[in-house]
Amino acid sequence: MIPPVLPTYARAPLAFETGEGCWLITRSGERYLDLGAGIAVNALGHAHPDLVAALEAQARRLWHTSNLYQIPNQEELARLLVEATFADTMFFTNSGTEAVECAIKMTRRHFSHNGRPERFRIITFEGCFHGRSTGAIAATKGAKMVEGFGPLMPGFDQVPLNDIEAVRAAVGPETAAIMIEPIQGEGGIRVAEPGFLRELRALCDAEGLLMILDEIQCGMGRTGRLFAHERAGIAPDIMAVAKGIGGGFPLGACLATERAAEGMTVGSHGSTYGGNPLACAVGIAVMRAVTAPGFLDRVSRVAGHLRQRLEGLVAGHPRVFAELRGEGLMLGLRCLPPVAEVIRAAYDAHVIVVPAGDNVARLLPPLTITEAEIDEGVARLDRAAGALEAAMERAT
Stretch that binds ligand PLP, among 79-87, 96-104, 282-290, 370-378 (CB under 6 A): 96-104
Q: How far apart are CA 159 and CA 155, in angstroms?
A: 13
- Residue 38 forms beta bridges with which residues? none
Among 58, 73, 74, 97, binds ligand PLP (CB under 6 A): 97
Considering beta carbons, is residue 185 or 247 the nearer one to ligand PLP? 185
Tell me which of 120, 129, 196, 227 binds ligand PLP, using CB under 6 A.
129
Cβ atoms of 220 and 230 closer than 8 Å: no
Q: Which of 138, 167, 242, 261 binds ligand PLP (CB under 6 A)?
A: 242
Half-sphere exposure in the Cβ direction for 258 (13 Å, CA): 1
**Position among 19, 36, 96, 357 found at the interface with ligand PLP (CB under 6 A):** 96
Residue 326-355 contact track with ligand PLP, rule CB under 6 A, x = bound: ------------------------------
Task: Go through 229-248 and write b for each residue having 16 or more CB atoms within 10 A of its CB, e for each that does not.
Answer: bbbbebbbbbbbbbbbbbbb
| Smallest distance from ligand PLP to CB 387, Å | 30
Q: Please name the residue ranges forming H helices in the chain.
A: 37-40, 49-61, 72-84, 96-113, 134-140, 143-146, 164-170, 194-207, 277-290, 295-316, 339-348, 371-395
Using CB under 6 A as the binding criterion, the count of chain residues that bind ligand PLP stands at 15
Which listed range, 111-119, 123-131, 191-199, 285-293, lies at the site for ligand PLP (CB under 6 A)? Answer: 123-131
Q: Is the peptide bond before 194 cis (omega within 30 degrees of 0)?
A: no
Work out whether 95 is an interface residue with ligand PLP (CB under 6 A). Answer: yes
The nearer residue to ligand PLP, 45 or 185, going by C-beta atoms, is 185
Does position 227 interact with ligand PLP (CB under 6 A)? The reply is no
Q: Which stretch binds ligand PLP (CB under 6 A): 172-180, 196-204, 211-219, 320-328?
A: 211-219
Q: DSSP string covering 339-380, please?
A: HHHHHHHHHHTTEE-EEETTTEEEE---TT--HHHHHHHHHH
> What is the rounded distance in angstroms from the CA atom of residue 164 to the CA atom of residue 196?
7
100 binds ligand PLP (CB under 6 A): yes
H or E element that contains 240: strand 238-241
Binding mask 165-204 for ligand PLP (x = CB under 6 A): ----------------x---xx------------------
Question: Shortest Cβ contact with ligand PLP: which residue?
Answer: 96
**Burial, 169: exposed, middle or buried (Cβ in 10 Å; 0-12, 13-18, 19+)?**
exposed
Residues forming contacts to ligand PLP in the complex (CB under 6 A) are 95-97, 100, 129-131, 181, 185-186, 214, 216-217, 242-243
